[in-house]
Amino acid sequence: MENFYLVIVVILFALAISDLIVGVTNDAVNFLNSAIGSKAAPRWVIFTMAALGVLIGATFSTGMMEVARKGVFFPDMFSFSEIMILFLAVMITDVILLDAFNSLGLPTSTTVSLVFELLGSAFAVSLVKISALGGTFGDLAQYVNTGKALAIIGGILVSILIAFSFGTLVQYLARLLFTFRFERKLLYFGSLFGGVAITMISYFILIKGIDGSSFASLPVGHHATPLSEWISAHTGMLLTISLLGWTVLIQVLWWLFRMDILKVVVLAGTFALAMAFAGNDLVNFIGVPIAGYASFKAWVTAGAADPSAFNMDMLLGNVETPFLFLLISGVVMVITLITSKKAKKVTETEVNLGRQLEGAERFGSSGIARAIVRSSVRLNKRLKRLMPYKANQFLMKRFAPVETSDDPEAPAFDKLRASVNLVVASSLIAFGTSLKLPLSTTYVTFMVAMGSSLADRAWGRESAVYRISGVFTVVGGWFLTAVIAFTISGLVAWLISAGGWIAIAALMVLSATLVVRTHILFRKRLVNNAEEEEMISEKDELVKRIEKAENQAAKTIINTNRIFSDALDSFIREDITTMREAMERNTLLNAKTKKQKNKSITVMSKMKMVDVDAGYHYIQLVDAQREMAHAIHFMVDPLKQHMENQHKPFTESQNAQVRMLIRAVDDFFTFALEIVREHKFDNIDLLVTRRVNIAEKLYSIEKDQVKRIKDLEVNTRNSLLFFKSLTETRNLLLHTVNVVKSFRNFYHSSGKYL
């Protein structure tokens, strides 16, 4: 029996490593988005500061969180065997849940996921125990602390509103004072601004970083007052000394070295948030395994008696965490932070929602977002009418943006906003911690960033509905996290209780399979994103633009040919798997051509060394590719729906004609690809001739279909689908010729500059 629970402890620590990886990946957005979005420093410098903060914070951490032991349940009401089931269910659920959010690129709260996993698991284990003892549902209150869950939900709502409001207000005042052309004003107010900012960040480190750490109990002074209590008693003095000291130091450094004040603030804030994250949120990933390890040690020390009779009241006391565990956890977090591509994806979500410049939006619009924007526009017009003309002009000048850079690698927002994000988030989290409020660093940092972007007028008429929809998506995901975490953790705990080691083995295999599957899906998205990066950019040299345009045209032809052939062939063979794969490729082609079209106008407006004709022909090329994607979609989708609904397939005579058509169209696409790749534009007339020949075959096939209708060989549904396929084939061939012609025209128009 002892070996069985030893295996569970090993599994808990294995899951802890996985949880550290997926947890850091998600929480990286908390401390990286401001520095990365503003490009305050090279990426390696930003990651170095964050890594130092993570490593120091991890080693300062106590490694134990009250909620992991007794926050949402009463451990003295459970036996050792029940506690181990509870902890194992939590860790399995946490790894799966956080990895799924990472793959979607959505930031969520590791604190909330842990709390509700503990709550759900304790709920399920308690019900099993109550049922075995013959109790009633009302006895649940003796086992589960539901009040804690309600307090956390309330904390979520309060932190969202407060963080967004303060982010908006402080950024509005900062922009009103400094404007977007803040360089000259920093000459006069820079040292004071930097002093205030770094003082608040320092206060954040002291309150959020030291409180609860292993240093909190260090004796200070003659009375041996604990460090945390001494800091709390002398907060005012520390803030005053810090403000004066930092202000003077920054001014001296400015005089001597012309130091970039905002850059220092952003890097200091990044370090502070990373340190506090590791020092406090580390327990979200290793707190449960440490509690399980401590429980196992206590059980073994007591003689490894009956695990179902050994009470876990020892978890009510303090449980120290070995320093080695903290150090290893910090190293794992740093490695993950530097190497994880999913961390970059999660960070990009917040940066994209807060960027100052226009561009492709990740999220679509929603009804509630449109209603909010519509109401806001009306309110803004009314306020402008009520305000004096000079006041309106003054505000317009203060918020007049600087000219946008042609560089696509330009910062998403400036360092002033990044500084405000970090200072406000640090201050709110420190204040909430001092009041023992259940705030989440994810919620606070995200909503502060959204509020500051709103105040900066980054959410203009062209982007507001998409940004608001994105915020609602992320916020909705937070609440969904709680529901999913509670449900899945409870289900897993119940399965383990019922199935024992067989259920544990099955769940481990299932969790590993799900994590691997999400990783594969994420890798596929990375490949698709890499293809999207092949789109023409304004920074490309002329030769590179021609090469990219050629690759775009060629890949569209290749992908369309494959989709066309696979869809019709799988329809003949009634192979729904291949049909779905063809539809999936078609969906990707649609998304890719849509992004190309959305980006083409912006790219053309900023291109240099290209005349109006070349720009026009490139837009025509993108439009023709978009039409190809439409044509193949309108052909494949009805075929797929026909198969999904199990309707009758084509007749043998129809299948024979479709096979002939597949061969003819494949030859046509192969010839079109050869013209594009080898620049044999003299053969375009021959390509047109081939299209005409296939069109004549289509006409003949349509006449044969009419005969089948008259002979009652086919029904109406068959005829509509057959004619639809032939019509879209005709459209597809026409647009393919247009792609080849447009590429030829772009090539010749651009070539005169070579």
pLDDT attached to residue 343 = 58
Rounded Cα distance between 318 and 653, Å, is 80
Residues of the chain with CATH 1.20.58.220: 534-751
Q: Is the pLDDT of residue 632 over 90?
A: yes
Rounded Cα distance between 440 and 56, Å, is 20
pLDDT attached to residue 63 = 41
Average pLDDT over residues 468-486: 79
52-94, pLDDT tens digit by residue? 887 777 666 554 445 455 567 777 788 888 888 888 888 888 8
More confident residue, 634 or 107: 634
More confident residue, 248 or 18: 248
- Token pair, residue 452, equals 């500051």
Phi-psi region of 127 (alpha: psi -120 to 50; beta: other; left: phi over 0): alpha
Q: Confidence class of residue 350 from pLDDT cuts 50, 70 and 90?
A: low
Average pLDDT over residues 471-495: 83
Nearest to 624 by CA among 672, 568, 693: 672
Rounded Cα distance between 70 and 66, Å, is 6
Average pLDDT over residues 730-737: 94
Return the biggest CA–CA distance within the chain: 107
pLDDT attached to residue 64 = 40
- Token pair, residue 356, equals 């100052």
581-588 LR contacts (CB < 8 Å, sep 24+): 582/636, 582/640, 583/636, 583/637, 583/640, 585/559, 586/629, 586/632, 586/633, 586/636, 586/637, 588/528
Query: What is the CATH code of the structural domain delimited by 534-751?
Result: 1.20.58.220
Nearest to 362 by CA among 165, 525, 193: 525
Q: Is the pLDDT of residue 687 over 80?
A: yes
More confident residue, 46 or 224: 46
Nearest to 14 by CA among 483, 462, 515: 515
Q: Confidence class of residue 317 from pLDDT cuts 50, 70 and 90?
A: low
pLDDT attached to residue 739 = 92
Give the predicted TM-score (pTM) of the model: 0.69
State the Cα torsion 146-148-152-155 to the nearest 10°.
120
DSSP-assigned states of every residue in 654-694 = HHHHHHHHHHHHHHHHHHHHHHHHHT-GGGHHHHHHHHHHH
pLDDT attached to residue 100 = 74
Residues contacting 175, CB < 8 A, separation 6+: 398, 399, 416, 417, 455, 456
Q: Confidence class of residue 667 from pLDDT cuts 50, 70 and 90?
A: very high
The alpha carbon dihedral of 339, 342, 347, 351 has a sign of positive
Query: pLDDT over 90 for what percent of the chain?
Result: 15
Q: Are 213 and 225 in contact (CB under 8 A)?
A: no
pLDDT attached to residue 374 = 80
pLDDT attached to residue 638 = 93
Rounded Cα distance between 352 and 470, Å, is 10
Average pLDDT over residues 728-751: 89
Rounded Cα distance between 29 and 454, Å, is 19
- Considering 215-219, 476-480, 632-636, the range whose residues carry the highest mean pLDDT is 632-636
Average pLDDT over residues 255-265: 82
Nearest to 742 by CA among 681, 671, 667, 689: 681
Q: What is the DSSP letter of 141?
A: G
Average pLDDT over residues 710-720: 88
492-534, pLDDT tens digit by residue? 888 888 877 788 788 778 777 776 666 566 566 555 554 544 5
State the Cα torsion 444-449-455-457 to the nearest 10°.
-150
Rounded Cα distance between 255 and 571, Å, is 75
More confident residue, 439 or 450: 450
pLDDT attached to residue 59 = 66
Average pLDDT over residues 395-407: 69
319-332, pLDDT tens digit by residue? 566 667 777 777 77
Q: Is the pLDDT of residue 148 over 90?
A: no
Q: Are 649 and 745 in contact (CB under 8 A)?
A: no
Average pLDDT over residues 693-722: 90
Kindly state the helix (H) or strand (E) to which residue 219 belongs, with its residue range.
Answer: strand 219-220
Dihedrals phi, psi of 53, to nearest 5 degrees: -60, -45
More confident residue, 532 or 625: 625
Rounded Cα distance between 93 and 89, Å, is 6
Rounded Cα distance between 534 and 554, Å, is 12
pLDDT attached to residue 81 = 83
pLDDT attached to residue 107 = 64
More confident residue, 359 or 612: 612
